[in-house]
Amino acid sequence: MNYPNGDEISAGDKLSLEGGMTGLVLCSFDSKDYLPEFDYESWIDTCKTGIMVDTDVAGLIHYSEPNSNFKLLKRK
């Protein structure tokens, strides 16, 4: 999955989301890139594509499609 500018979204990215939320990308299921603390094996059967984001407001959110509001704030 990519940001609107075409850059690939990676695990560890801090991003801005819709509604003023921010979040940390825990996993990119598309590239099988995930943070060590993320239990990838527990989620892969449920979430085969997209990204898993730990948000500051709503907790875990799985995005299966790119969102035009995604904006990279900081890369690990």
47 neighbors 34 (Cβ within 8 angstroms)? no
- When pLDDT is averaged across residues 25-51 and rounded to a whole number, the result is 95
Q: Is the pLDDT of residue 19 over 90?
A: no
- When pLDDT is averaged across residues 27-42 and rounded to a whole number, the result is 95
- When pLDDT is averaged across residues 4-16 and rounded to a whole number, the result is 95
Cα distances from 57 to residues 41, 53, 70, in angstroms, run 25, 11, 16
- When pLDDT is averaged across residues 68-74 and rounded to a whole number, the result is 94
- When pLDDT is averaged across residues 23-48 and rounded to a whole number, the result is 95
- When pLDDT is averaged across residues 43-66 and rounded to a whole number, the result is 94
Query: Could you give the residue ranges of the DSSP H alpha helices within the chain?
Result: 40-43
Q: Looking at the whole model, is its pTM more than 0.85?
A: yes
